[in-house]
Protein backbone atom coordinates (compact mmCIF):
# COMPACT_ATOMS: atom_id res chain seq x y z
CA UNK A 1 0.00 0.00 0.00
CA UNK A 2 1.47 3.39 -0.94
CA UNK A 3 1.51 6.02 1.78
CA UNK A 4 -0.85 8.83 0.80
CA UNK A 5 -0.69 12.42 1.94
CA UNK A 6 -3.37 13.46 4.41
CA UNK A 7 -3.13 16.99 3.10
CA UNK A 8 -4.92 18.49 0.09
CA UNK A 9 -4.66 22.22 -0.55
CA UNK A 10 -6.36 22.55 -3.95
CA UNK A 11 -9.99 21.46 -4.42
CA UNK A 12 -13.18 22.72 -6.05
CA UNK A 13 -16.83 22.73 -4.99
CA UNK A 14 -19.97 23.56 -6.94
CA UNK A 15 -19.47 27.22 -6.01
CA UNK A 16 -17.16 27.18 -9.04
CA UNK A 17 -16.81 24.19 -11.36
CA UNK A 18 -16.64 21.25 -8.96
CA UNK A 19 -19.46 18.75 -8.66
CA UNK A 20 -19.94 18.57 -4.89
CA UNK A 21 -21.35 21.14 -2.50
CA UNK A 22 -18.81 22.45 0.06
CA UNK A 23 -20.52 20.22 2.66
CA UNK A 24 -20.25 17.09 0.47
CA UNK A 25 -16.68 17.89 -0.53
CA UNK A 26 -15.46 18.21 3.05
CA UNK A 27 -17.40 15.11 4.08
CA UNK A 28 -15.84 13.13 1.26
CA UNK A 29 -12.37 14.43 2.08
CA UNK A 30 -12.87 13.38 5.70
CA UNK A 31 -14.09 9.92 4.67
CA UNK A 32 -11.01 9.59 2.45
CA UNK A 33 -8.61 10.32 5.30
CA UNK A 34 -7.78 13.98 4.64
CA UNK A 35 -6.76 15.88 7.78
CA UNK A 36 -5.83 19.27 6.31
CA UNK A 37 -7.97 20.62 3.48
CA UNK A 38 -8.21 23.86 1.52
CA UNK A 39 -11.18 24.74 -0.67
CA UNK A 40 -9.84 26.79 -3.59
CA UNK A 41 -12.75 27.59 -5.89
CA UNK A 42 -12.08 29.65 -9.01
CA UNK A 43 -12.44 33.35 -8.26
CA UNK A 44 -14.87 32.97 -5.36
CA UNK A 45 -14.82 32.64 -1.58
CA UNK A 46 -18.52 31.84 -1.34
CA UNK A 47 -18.07 28.19 -0.34
CA UNK A 48 -15.62 28.79 2.48
CA UNK A 49 -17.95 29.38 5.41
CA UNK A 50 -20.01 26.20 4.76
CA UNK A 51 -16.82 24.21 4.21
CA UNK A 52 -15.30 25.55 7.41
CA UNK A 53 -18.40 24.67 9.44
CA UNK A 54 -18.35 21.12 8.09
CA UNK A 55 -14.62 20.79 8.69
CA UNK A 56 -15.04 21.79 12.34
CA UNK A 57 -17.64 19.01 12.77
CA UNK A 58 -15.38 16.49 11.04
CA UNK A 59 -12.31 17.60 12.96
CA UNK A 60 -10.39 18.59 9.83
CA UNK A 61 -7.87 21.41 9.78
CA UNK A 62 -9.55 23.71 7.23
CA UNK A 63 -7.59 26.31 5.26
CA UNK A 64 -9.45 29.16 3.55
CA UNK A 65 -8.35 29.30 -0.07
CA UNK A 66 -9.10 30.55 -3.57
CA UNK A 67 -7.76 29.94 -7.09
CA UNK A 68 -7.43 33.25 -8.86
CA UNK A 69 -7.30 33.63 -12.64
CA UNK A 70 -4.52 35.95 -13.74
CA UNK A 71 -2.99 37.14 -16.96
CA UNK A 72 0.75 36.97 -17.54
CA UNK A 73 2.50 37.43 -20.87
CA UNK A 74 -0.78 36.81 -22.73
CA UNK A 75 -1.35 33.56 -20.87
CA UNK A 76 -3.81 32.62 -18.17
CA UNK A 77 -1.96 31.56 -15.04
CA UNK A 78 -3.71 30.25 -11.94
CA UNK A 79 -2.56 31.49 -8.56
CA UNK A 80 -3.85 29.74 -5.47
CA UNK A 81 -4.18 31.88 -2.36
CA UNK A 82 -3.97 29.88 0.87
CA UNK A 83 -4.84 30.87 4.43
CA UNK A 84 -6.54 34.05 3.24
CA UNK A 85 -9.04 36.17 5.19
CA UNK A 86 -12.29 35.27 3.39
CA UNK A 87 -14.24 38.20 4.78
CA UNK A 88 -11.73 40.85 3.83
CA UNK A 89 -13.48 43.56 1.74
CA UNK A 90 -10.65 43.51 -0.81
CA UNK A 91 -11.19 39.87 -1.75
CA UNK A 92 -14.97 40.27 -1.80
CA UNK A 93 -14.59 43.19 -4.19
CA UNK A 94 -12.08 41.36 -6.38
CA UNK A 95 -14.41 38.36 -6.61
CA UNK A 96 -17.33 40.58 -7.63
CA UNK A 97 -15.20 42.03 -10.43
CA UNK A 98 -14.13 38.56 -11.55
CA UNK A 99 -17.73 37.38 -11.57
CA UNK A 100 -18.63 40.20 -13.95
CA UNK A 101 -15.65 39.34 -16.18
CA UNK A 102 -16.76 35.70 -16.20
CA UNK A 103 -20.31 36.66 -17.13
CA UNK A 104 -19.14 38.89 -19.97
CA UNK A 105 -16.78 36.18 -21.22
CA UNK A 106 -19.50 33.52 -21.04
CA UNK A 107 -21.79 35.65 -23.21
CA UNK A 108 -18.96 36.13 -25.72
CA UNK A 109 -18.16 32.39 -25.78
CA UNK A 110 -21.84 31.68 -26.35
CA UNK A 111 -22.02 34.16 -29.23
CA UNK A 112 -18.93 32.58 -30.81
CA UNK A 113 -20.42 29.10 -30.50
CA UNK A 114 -23.67 30.24 -32.08
CA UNK A 115 -21.70 31.33 -35.14
CA UNK A 116 -20.94 27.66 -35.81
CA UNK A 117 -24.55 26.63 -35.17
CA UNK A 118 -24.24 25.73 -31.48
CA UNK A 119 -26.97 27.69 -29.74
CA UNK A 120 -28.24 28.15 -26.20
CA UNK A 121 -24.87 27.77 -24.45
CA UNK A 122 -25.15 30.81 -22.18
CA UNK A 123 -28.57 29.88 -20.80
CA UNK A 124 -27.44 26.30 -20.26
CA UNK A 125 -24.17 27.12 -18.50
CA UNK A 126 -25.87 29.76 -16.37
CA UNK A 127 -28.04 27.00 -14.90
CA UNK A 128 -25.04 24.74 -14.33
CA UNK A 129 -23.05 27.37 -12.47
CA UNK A 130 -25.05 27.49 -9.24
CA UNK A 131 -23.10 30.43 -7.91
CA UNK A 132 -23.05 32.38 -11.18
CA UNK A 133 -19.33 31.84 -11.74
CA UNK A 134 -19.42 30.38 -15.24
CA UNK A 135 -16.22 28.60 -16.28
CA UNK A 136 -15.11 26.83 -19.42
CA UNK A 137 -15.70 23.62 -17.48
CA UNK A 138 -19.44 24.42 -17.64
CA UNK A 139 -19.20 25.04 -21.38
CA UNK A 140 -17.44 21.69 -21.68
CA UNK A 141 -20.33 20.08 -19.82
CA UNK A 142 -22.80 21.81 -22.17
CA UNK A 143 -20.92 20.59 -25.26
CA UNK A 144 -20.67 17.02 -23.96
CA UNK A 145 -24.27 16.78 -22.75
CA UNK A 146 -25.48 18.08 -26.10
CA UNK A 147 -23.30 15.62 -28.04
CA UNK A 148 -20.96 18.16 -29.62
CA UNK A 149 -17.97 16.47 -27.97
CA UNK A 150 -17.40 13.12 -26.32
CA UNK A 151 -15.33 14.19 -23.30
CA UNK A 152 -13.41 17.06 -21.66
CA UNK A 153 -10.22 16.26 -23.56
CA UNK A 154 -12.09 16.50 -26.87
CA UNK A 155 -13.68 19.80 -25.81
CA UNK A 156 -10.35 21.40 -24.91
CA UNK A 157 -8.91 20.18 -28.21
CA UNK A 158 -11.75 21.15 -30.54
CA UNK A 159 -13.50 24.03 -28.80
CA UNK A 160 -12.86 26.92 -26.39
CA UNK A 161 -9.13 27.10 -27.16
CA UNK A 162 -7.16 29.35 -29.51
CA UNK A 163 -8.12 28.89 -33.15
CA UNK A 164 -11.24 26.85 -32.33
CA UNK A 165 -14.96 27.71 -32.05
CA UNK A 166 -15.88 29.31 -28.75
CA UNK A 167 -12.43 30.77 -28.10
CA UNK A 168 -12.35 34.12 -26.35
CA UNK A 169 -9.15 35.78 -25.18
CA UNK A 170 -9.14 36.33 -21.45
CA UNK A 171 -8.55 39.63 -19.68
CA UNK A 172 -7.99 38.57 -16.10
CA UNK A 173 -6.18 40.85 -13.62
CA UNK A 174 -2.41 40.73 -13.94
CA UNK A 175 -0.08 38.54 -11.92
CA UNK A 176 1.42 41.29 -9.73
CA UNK A 177 -1.97 42.69 -8.76
CA UNK A 178 -3.12 39.19 -7.77
CA UNK A 179 -0.05 38.38 -5.66
CA UNK A 180 -0.34 41.75 -3.91
CA UNK A 181 -3.99 41.08 -3.14
CA UNK A 182 -3.26 37.65 -1.64
CA UNK A 183 -0.43 39.06 0.48
CA UNK A 184 -2.61 41.95 1.66
CA UNK A 185 -5.34 39.61 2.87
CA UNK A 186 -2.87 37.58 4.91
CA UNK A 187 -2.51 34.70 2.46
CA UNK A 188 0.27 32.79 0.79
CA UNK A 189 0.39 32.97 -3.04
CA UNK A 190 1.08 29.65 -4.76
CA UNK A 191 1.69 28.94 -8.48
CA UNK A 192 -0.92 26.31 -9.35
CA UNK A 193 -0.09 23.25 -11.51
CA UNK A 194 3.11 24.78 -12.98
CA UNK A 195 3.58 22.15 -15.69
CA UNK A 196 0.09 22.51 -17.13
CA UNK A 197 0.67 25.83 -18.90
CA UNK A 198 1.56 25.43 -22.51
CA UNK A 199 4.78 27.44 -22.25
CA UNK A 200 8.44 26.65 -22.89
CA UNK A 201 10.74 25.83 -19.93
CA UNK A 202 12.45 29.20 -20.46
CA UNK A 203 9.15 31.03 -20.16
CA UNK A 204 8.21 28.97 -17.12
CA UNK A 205 11.45 30.00 -15.40
CA UNK A 206 10.66 33.62 -16.27
CA UNK A 207 7.21 33.23 -14.75
CA UNK A 208 8.51 31.68 -11.53
CA UNK A 209 11.25 34.29 -11.23
CA UNK A 210 8.75 37.14 -11.65
CA UNK A 211 6.27 35.46 -9.28
CA UNK A 212 8.97 35.24 -6.61
CA UNK A 213 10.12 38.83 -7.12
CA UNK A 214 6.51 40.05 -6.80
CA UNK A 215 6.10 38.39 -3.40
CA UNK A 216 4.86 34.91 -4.33
CA UNK A 217 5.83 32.33 -1.74
CA UNK A 218 5.09 28.79 -2.94
CA UNK A 219 4.64 26.42 -5.86
CA UNK A 220 2.52 23.28 -6.27
CA UNK A 221 4.99 20.42 -6.34
CA UNK A 222 2.36 17.70 -6.00
CA UNK A 223 -0.60 18.35 -8.29
CA UNK A 224 -3.13 16.27 -10.14
CA UNK A 225 -0.67 14.64 -12.54
CA UNK A 226 2.03 12.98 -10.54
CA UNK A 227 4.66 11.21 -12.46
CA UNK A 228 7.87 11.19 -10.49
CA UNK A 229 9.78 13.03 -13.22
CA UNK A 230 7.41 15.98 -12.85
CA UNK A 231 7.73 15.97 -9.07
CA UNK A 232 11.52 16.02 -9.44
CA UNK A 233 11.37 18.87 -11.94
CA UNK A 234 9.10 21.09 -9.85
CA UNK A 235 11.03 20.26 -6.66
CA UNK A 236 14.15 21.58 -8.38
CA UNK A 237 12.28 24.81 -9.22
CA UNK A 238 11.15 25.17 -5.59
CA UNK A 239 14.75 24.88 -4.44
CA UNK A 240 16.19 27.15 -7.13
CA UNK A 241 13.73 29.96 -6.39
CA UNK A 242 13.53 29.34 -2.65
CA UNK A 243 9.79 28.70 -2.73
CA UNK A 244 7.78 26.60 -0.30
CA UNK A 245 6.06 23.49 -1.65
CA UNK A 246 2.31 22.96 -1.86
CA UNK A 247 0.22 19.89 -2.53
CA UNK A 248 -3.27 19.67 -4.01
CA UNK A 249 -5.36 17.32 -6.10
CA UNK A 250 -7.30 19.98 -8.07
CA UNK A 251 -10.28 17.74 -7.41
CA UNK A 252 -13.40 18.64 -9.43
CA UNK A 253 -15.39 15.40 -9.57
CA UNK A 254 -15.15 11.63 -9.35
CA UNK A 255 -15.16 10.87 -13.05
CA UNK A 256 -11.57 11.92 -13.60
CA UNK A 257 -9.39 9.08 -12.35
CA UNK A 258 -6.26 11.08 -11.67
CA UNK A 259 -7.64 13.49 -9.14
CA UNK A 260 -9.25 11.39 -6.46
CA UNK A 261 -9.37 12.88 -3.00
CA UNK A 262 -6.92 11.39 -0.55
CA UNK A 263 -4.61 9.68 -3.01
CA UNK A 264 -1.79 12.16 -3.42
CA UNK A 265 1.82 11.14 -2.86
CA UNK A 266 3.76 12.77 -0.02
CA UNK A 267 5.70 16.00 -0.50
CA UNK A 268 9.45 15.41 -0.80
CA UNK A 269 10.98 15.85 2.66
CA UNK A 270 13.75 18.11 1.40
CA UNK A 271 11.25 20.92 0.67
CA UNK A 272 9.64 23.48 2.99
CA UNK A 273 5.93 22.64 3.21
CA UNK A 274 3.70 25.63 2.54
CA UNK A 275 1.80 25.31 5.86
CA UNK A 276 5.03 26.14 7.72
CA UNK A 277 4.59 29.68 6.35
CA UNK A 278 1.31 30.34 8.13
CA UNK A 279 2.19 28.37 11.24
CA UNK A 280 5.05 30.81 11.69
CA UNK A 281 2.60 33.68 12.17
CA UNK A 282 0.34 31.86 14.64
Which spans of this chain sit near ligand AMP (rule: CB under 6 A)?
17, 42, 69, 135-137, 152-153, 156, 252
Report, in Å, the least distance between residue 60 CB and ligand AMP: 23
Sketch the per residue contact string, 38 through 77, with Mn ion: x for CB under 5 A, - otherwise. -----------------------------x----------
Residues 193-252 that bind Mn ion (CB under 5 A): 250
Residue 256 CB neighbours (<10 A): 14
Q: What angle do CA 236, 240, 246 make, to 5 degrees?
A: 60
Q: Which of 75, 139, 130, 76 is nearest to 107 (CA)?
A: 139
Q: Which of 8, 73, 97 is nearest to 275 (CA)?
A: 8
**Which residues face 11 on adjacent strands?**
251
- Of the candidates 5, 8, 13, 17, which one interacts with Mn ion according to CB under 5 A? 17
Report, in Å, the least distance between residue 10 CB and Mn ion: 6
With contact defined as beta carbons under 8 Å apart, do 55 and 25 qualify? no
Report, in Å, the least distance between residue 144 CB and Mn ion: 15
Sketch the per residue contact string, 246 through 265, with Mn ion: x for CB under 5 A, - otherwise. ----x---------------
Residue among 113 and 192 whose Cβ is closer to Mn ion? 192
Name the residue with the smallest CB distance to Mn ion. 78
Residue among 77 and 185 whose Cβ is closer to Mn ion? 77
Phi, psi of 42 (to 5 degrees): -65, 115
190-228 burial: b if 16+ Cβ within 10 Å, else e: bbbbbbebebeeeebeebbeebbebebbbbbbbbbebee
Q: Please state, in angstroms and as integers, the Cα–Cα distance from residue 20 to each residue in 5, 47, 59, 71, 160, following that order.
A: 21, 11, 19, 28, 24
- Of the candidates 8, 30, 63, 78, which one interacts with Mn ion according to CB under 5 A? 78
Strands 218-222 and 244-247: parallel
Report, in Å, the least distance between residue 133 CB and ligand AMP: 9
Residue 112 interacts, among Mn ion, ligand AMP, none and using kind-specific CB cut-offs from 5 to 8 Å, with none
Residue among 199 and 266 whose Cβ is closer to ligand AMP? 199
Q: Any contact of residue 8 with Mn ion (CB under 5 A)?
A: no
Residue 136 interacts, among ligand AMP, Mn ion, none and using kind-specific CB cut-offs from 5 to 8 Å, with ligand AMP
Binding site for Mn ion (CB under 5 A): 17, 67, 78, 137, 192, 250
Amino acid sequence: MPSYSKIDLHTHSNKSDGELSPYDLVTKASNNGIQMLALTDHDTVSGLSDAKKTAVKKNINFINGIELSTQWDNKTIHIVGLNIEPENALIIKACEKLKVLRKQRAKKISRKLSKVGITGAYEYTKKLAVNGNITRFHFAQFLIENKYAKNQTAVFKNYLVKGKPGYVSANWPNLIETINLINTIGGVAVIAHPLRYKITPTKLHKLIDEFKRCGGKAIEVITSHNISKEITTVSSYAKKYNLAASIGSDFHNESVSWNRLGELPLLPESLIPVWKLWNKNN
